[in-house]
Amino acid sequence: MTPMAQSDIRRSRVALQGEALIRGPDGDWRAPVRDLSVSGVHMPRPPGFGLPVGEPLEIELHCGPPGEGVDLMLLAQVARTDEETLGLRFAPLPERLERALEGVLTHYGTLRDGTTEERLEGD
């Protein structure tokens, strides 16, 4: 696999094997990660998830294949949701954590194909 340029990581959503545990005020939900960037994550909407756009929550991410990879705990909010998908925007990350997340994306991720990339509202 060809390493991605750092500028590609900064601007892109990256396909990444992983799982998210979402912790909200009404319970916890688990879903696979579809794609990830330094600003947020996109995933299938977990069954029973009903938090509104703007709702703050915590997200535990396991980035990478089972048995290896990196676990991250981040603050986020619901950026968008529909019947099938969920987009979460991360709270501002300290520079050191942002660099660590960029490293995870570079090591475990693959840039999405195509020139039009899905973005969270407000990105």
The rounded distance, in Å, linking the Cα atoms of 40 and 92 is 10
Domain parsing of the chain, residue ranges: 6-109
Q: Which amino acid is at 33?
A: V
pLDDT at residue 66, rounded to an integer? 81
Phi and psi at residue 96, in whole multiples of 5°? -65, -40
C-beta separation of 121 from 79 below 8 A: yes
Could you tell me the two tokens for 42?
A: 């996109």
pTM greater than the 0.75 cutoff = yes
**CATH value of 6-109 in 2.40.10.220, 3.10.310.10, 3.10.129.10, 2.60.120.10:** 2.40.10.220
Q: List pLDDT tens digits, range 34-83.
A: 999 999 999 999 999 999 999 999 999 998 888 888 899 999 999 999 99
Beta-strand ranges (E) seen in 1-123 are 14-15, 18-24, 27-32, 35-36, 40-44, 56-63, 70-81, 85-90, 110-111
Q: In the predicted model, is pLDDT for residue 15 greater than 60?
A: yes
Mean model confidence pLDDT for the chain: 83
